[in-house]
Chain A
Amino acid sequence: MLEITNLSKAFGGLQATTDLSFSVNEGEIVSVIGPNGAGKTTLFNQITGVYRPDSGDIRFEGRSIVGRKPSQIVHAGIARTFQNLRLFTNLSVLENVMIPQHHKLRSNWLSAVLRTPGYMRQEKAAYEYALDKLSFFGPRLMSFRLHQPVYVLSYANRRRTEMARAMATEARLLLLDEPSAGMNPSETAEITQIIRRMRDEGGYTILLVEHKMNLVGEISDRVVVLDYGRKIAEGSYRDVVDDPAVIEAYLGKRAAEEGRTADLGVDLEELP
């Protein structure tokens, strides 16, 4: 579905992505992990058209999307969430989940002003589609919450709204940038379930950036490990965490020599 080949991007003297290649198949959950500054978010920004790669190619469903504008990439079928929430804070939950459907609108502004039957039909469809995506998160974003401005929501509800917003673009590939950042263990467990349901019930393919190793370990079909912009390992979670290069990147050379594992999920669980 998504093929990245020999992708490179530098900011001045800093090589943020170096000769990176991997692919995501339809129906997979692929996690991208790596220490801070490894280039995970830069990778997302290149896929979604925020940055243009210096060289290399990104193909989505067989077609190159390099050089397209962010809105065109959404239209092609890739949507994302942000590491530090970028919701439309003063708008209601419903409006937040209806805006991503604007790019599908087939009426011009004049028919929107005149409220032509064709426009009203699409408006109603957009409303129902938004409810459908919000109901993915149970009743907690429904009913009166629909009309609440986002700034009154709890942090976890904002994260859920942002995921619903990305789903409402009608994208087939979702890029989730640290969906569990700032969430407590029970909320993280819930997000893990939701990501799995997004794939199983929603039919989305998911590319994930995440730091919480227990979440990564539980749901990933494949894991890509980045360090200093390079891919240092790829494979199943178990293979990757026992890879000496990964252990070295996460825990240092000595840990790699001692044969420790980078499977930090267990340790995280035991934290108070």
Chain B
Amino acid sequence: MPDPKRNRNRLLTLAGLGVVVLLLYLIDNSGSSKLVQAFALFSIWGIAAVSLNLVNGVTGILSLGQHGFMLIGGYVTALLILPVQSRIRIIESGRSSMTEETLSISIANFFSAIGLESLAAPEYLWLQFIVALFIGGLAASFFGLLVGIPSLRLRGDYLAIVTLGFGEIIRLLAATSMFSPYTNGALGFAGVPAEFGKSVWWTTAILGITVFVMARLKYSSYGRALQGIREDEIAAAAMGVNLAYSKILAFVLTAFFAGVAGGLWVSWIGTARVDQFLFTLMFFLLVAVSVGGTGSITGVLMGTAIVVFIRQYGDPLEQTYALTDWLRAGGLIVLAGGFGAFIYRAARRLRPRLNAMVWVPLGLGTLAFAAALVAPGQGWLEGSFRGFGLRAILLSVLLVVIMVFRPEGVFGRSEFSWAAVFRERRDRPSDEERGQDAWLSNPDLADRLARQEKREGDE
């Protein structure tokens, strides 16, 4: 489609990429390993969430098996790049059911076997890692194919349950004796090279590739077909969209990038263990997709940022504080909620301006705040409280609030675009078109106007 502002938009995108690179440089050199880790985690989960969005948001199939795909990618990557020392330690432990053969599966050995000894050296670990990630992604996408097949017969909740079951089965199978020669059972792998998963450059580059592929796909003929399935499956089929192919394509691509994210995730943690891939991981991704906006890549990235921020920087919430401090903080939050409701109602011109949604939180908040001020003098509320698990609760509350007040997520289905930044809207009539439109959409009016003109002409 012709875009008159194409050059300007390209320039702005280039500038934006420059800013991102600068930001990454600053983060990398900030000296704060916590910041670097948080940002790397954002990118890794971003890959998983943006790919989940292809199935959940674009195609409109609720899939809850992303953690299963991540596990496959993670274990394959870990096995393929595990350093020799870690492998020796597994043998020496004497508790492992892994054999010499399964322990010798690695990219380095593969390179040696095909006569590329030079690439098997530790200096080329980065290349081995890329190959391992790719193979991990392929392995996961094979399982994506398997999960995609029931999606042809099942819809909605039923399919969600199947995908959830699949994710859990994968996790349980990985620890059984059947697969422990390859997965080292419940012990998993320790000592996975961490220089990739904890590097902002590696993770952001792969996130960039994921976003690029997903965005290009969404705005292609294939993406339109997938969105057609989301909007109305029967109509999409009646318009020639091959449902089987399209749904399986969505599942396979989602699983591939989930597998890649899994590979980076084991590198970020440094281990591959089954308890890294619990359903809570899936829950975090689901919150990221739902809060940001189901179907919107921009929104999903924002949702991921919120989830990762709460996870990585939310630990002050889980410390021990005096009860009066909790009361004061709680009162302030409730007060802020009341003010928020007031501003919301004012902006939307809702009447009455002060309803229960405004004055109840304002009243309760003031009461709590006042009580917290008075309590120490009166000897009330002595003692303290540890906010254990408050981060998870906060995420759940966030999900509930979003589902109640903005079920489509913060971004809804819309994406970031320069046209939106400059408020250029192609779906609004120009001034001259506005005049014409009344004629076009109402033939009766057009008749009447024509008659009126004729009468005026006669006079």
Contacts and interface: CB of A to CB of B under 8 A. Distances in A.
Contact of B217 (A102, A113, A145): A113
B309 to A, nearest CB: 30
A48 B441 contact: no
Interface stretch (A30-38, A59-67, A68-76, A198-206): A68-76
B433 A143 contact: yes
Interface stretch (A6-14, A79-87, A251-259): A79-87
Contacts of A112: 216-217, 220-222
B293 to A, nearest CB: 12
B427 A92 contact: yes
B237 A102 contact: no
B213 interface: yes
A103 B217 contact: no
B239 A79 contact: yes
Contacts of A99: 224-225, 227-228, 236, 239, 241
B347 interface: no
A203 B1 CA distance: 27
B216 A115 contact: yes
A70 B238 contact: yes
A157 B235 contact: no
A234 interface: no
Given A71-B242, A100-B239, A113 B433 contact: no
Contact of A86 (B234, B240, B243, B433): B234
B429 A144 contact: yes
Interface in A84-127: 86-92, 94-95, 98-105, 107, 109, 112-115, 119, 122-123, 126-127
Interface in B416-438: 426-430, 433, 436-437
A80 B225 contact: no
A88 B430 contact: no
A147 to B, nearest CB: 4
A182 to B, nearest CB: 16
B221 A126 contact: yes
B213 A91 contact: no
B1 A154 contact: no
Contacts of B443: 186-187, 190
Contacts of A71: 237, 240-243
Interface residues of A, number: 57
A272 interface: no
Contacts of B221: 98, 101-102, 105, 107, 112, 119, 122-123, 126
B87 interface: no
B169 interface: no
A266 B387 CA distance: 77
Given A112-B216, A112-B220, A147 B238 contact: no
B249 interface: yes
A207 to B, nearest CB: 15
Interface string A38-51: 00000000001010
Contacts of B225: 99, 102
Nearest to B443: A186
B427 A144 contact: yes
A263 to B, nearest CB: 26
Given A71-B240, A186-B443, A102 B224 contact: yes
B20 interface: no
A50 B429 contact: no
B231 A89 contact: yes
Contacts of B224: 91, 95, 98-99, 102
A88 B241 CA distance: 13
A169 interface: yes
Contacts of A144: 426-430, 433
Interface residues of A: mostly helix, strand, loop or mixed? helix
A158 to B, nearest CB: 12
Nearest to B250: A109
B429 A102 contact: no
Nearest to B437: A140
Nearest to A75: B240
Contacts of A89: 231-232
Contacts of A90: 227, 231, 413
A69 B237 contact: yes
B444 interface: yes
A109 B222 contact: yes
Interface string A205-236: 00000000000000000000000000000000
B440 interface: yes
A90 B228 CA distance: 9
Contact of B235 (A82, A105, A107, A143): A82
B447 to A, nearest CB: 9
B216 A186 contact: no
Contact of A147 (B236, B426, B441): B426
Contacts of A69: 237, 242
Contacts of B249: 109
A74 B242 CA distance: 10
Contact of A88 (B231, B243, B437): B231
A187 B446 CA distance: 13
Contacts of B242: 69, 71, 103
B217, B222, B240, B427 — most chain A CB neighbours (10 Å):
B240
> In the complex, which of the residues B241, B253, B427, B436 has the most CB atoms of chain A within 10 Å of its own CB atom?
B427
Contacts of B441: 140, 154, 156-157
B248 to A, nearest CB: 11
Contacts of B240: 71, 74-75, 79, 100, 102-104, 169
A124 to B, nearest CB: 8
B235 A139 contact: no
A172 interface: no
A113 B216 contact: yes
Interface of B: 1, 213, 216-217, 220-222, 224-225, 227-228, 231-232, 234-243, 249, 253, 413, 426-430, 433, 436-437, 440-441, 443-444
- Closest 3 A-B residue pairs measured CB to CB? A103-B240, A74-B240, A88-B231
Given A92-B427, A104-B240, A127-B1, 20 more contacts: A50-B234, A69-B237, A70-B238, A71-B237, A71-B240, A86-B232, A87-B231, A88-B231, A88-B232, A88-B235, A91-B227, A95-B224, A99-B227, A100-B239, A102-B240, A103-B240, A146-B426, A148-B427, A169-B239, A190-B443
27 contacts: A50-B238, A69-B242, A70-B238, A71-B242, A79-B240, A87-B232, A90-B227, A95-B227, A98-B221, A99-B227, A99-B241, A100-B240, A102-B222, A102-B241, A103-B241, A107-B221, A115-B216, A119-B221, A123-B220, A139-B436, A139-B440, A140-B437, A140-B441, A143-B429, A144-B433, A146-B426, A186-B444
